[in-house]
Amino acid sequence: MKYSSLLLILLLCGSCKKVFDSKLDDFNVKLVNTPLKVGDTAYFVIEGNPDFITFYSGENGNNYDYRNRTVADSSDPQLSFTSNVQNLSPLHSPALSLLVSTDYNGDTLNILNSNWTDISNRAVFSSGTANTPSGIIKLGDFKNKENVYIAFRYNTDSAINATQPTWTIQSFNLNNLSFPDSTLHELVTIANTGWQVADFSNAPRRWVVASNQLSLAGGPALGAANKDWVITKLFLNRVNPDAGISLKQISEKVSSYQYFFSKAGKYKVVFVARNANFSSEKEIVKQIEIDIK
């Protein structure tokens, strides 16, 4: 039994050594059909058998050079949302405003002491119960600020002889258009950004944050004043890293790959081969320049 255990350990160690010493020198990729024009399919022959292979076509969103990019200084941030309102009355107008602050520090006690820019005129708000798209709200004039907070401010006065409006905000999205690749990055939704609720009057009537909407139900006619904020912080220069296409996992064997380019242009196609285990990782990159006519 003792000798069997020793033999098993030696075999395992030998196997580990083989993995640790594994090389990627035999990995190679060749484009077998060239030249290519729009409508053709590129055929690649893959040599070697690495643990993992990832493919980057060089197209927008699939560019190897941008695989680690999380910030784009020349980005174009675009906000949009959908709103609907019930019991809208000119007596309470404007009951809802869209505001931006670059000096608010995230402490709700400092909301009223911070500077807020009213950008309500950049958005289209609902004038009835129908869901109304805001249109694209450009925030490029704020993109170089470290702190950018967006707020919806609900504001009604007391003793107004009209039912206070009920507002619902849905489909809140922040997208970024990065340059020079002109890739649209979907960054923020209501569900994946944090919201602060600040109630300054009429506590029972306040913003309610759900996974798919923000809502505030107004009070009755001649009711108490209602002044409420719901706020989120936005990072306007952020973008999503470009992602490659996984072609191979450890247990698979891949000897070829086909890819269709729908547009003419010059593309830097990249295949990344990687061997990895619990103690080491090795990687090799093969690049092919393709000109689609």
For position 23, what pLDDT does the model report? 66
| Shared domain check, 263 and 200 | no
Write out residues in the chain with pLDDT < 50, as ranges. Answer: 1-21
Q: Is residue 159 part of a domain?
A: yes
| Shared domain check, 259 and 179 | no
Q: Is residue 5 part of a domain?
A: no
| Shared domain check, 224 and 88 | yes
The model carries a pTM of: 0.80
| Shared domain check, 254 and 193 | no
For position 261, what pLDDT does the model report? 93
For position 279, what pLDDT does the model report? 77
| Shared domain check, 165 and 222 | yes
Q: Is residue 17 part of a domain?
A: no
**117: which residues sit within 8 A by CB, 6+ positions away?**
99, 100, 101
| Shared domain check, 45 and 142 | no
Report whether 9 contacts 2 (CB < 8 A). Answer: no
Number of domains into which the chain is organized: 2
| Shared domain check, 109 and 44 | no
For position 81, what pLDDT does the model report? 97
Distances (CA, A) of 23 to 20, 56, 121, 274: 9, 22, 61, 10
Q: Is residue 9 part of a domain?
A: no
Q: Domain end: 215, 234, 253, which one?
A: 234
| Shared domain check, 225 and 129 | yes
Domain that holds residue 35: 25-68+243-292
Amino acid type, 39:
G
For position 162, what pLDDT does the model report? 93
| Shared domain check, 146 and 218 | yes
154, 152, 135, 148: which is closest to 98 by C-alpha?
152
For the chain, helix (H) and strand (E) counts, in that order, are 1, 19
- Which two three-digit tokens encode residue 201? 């009057």
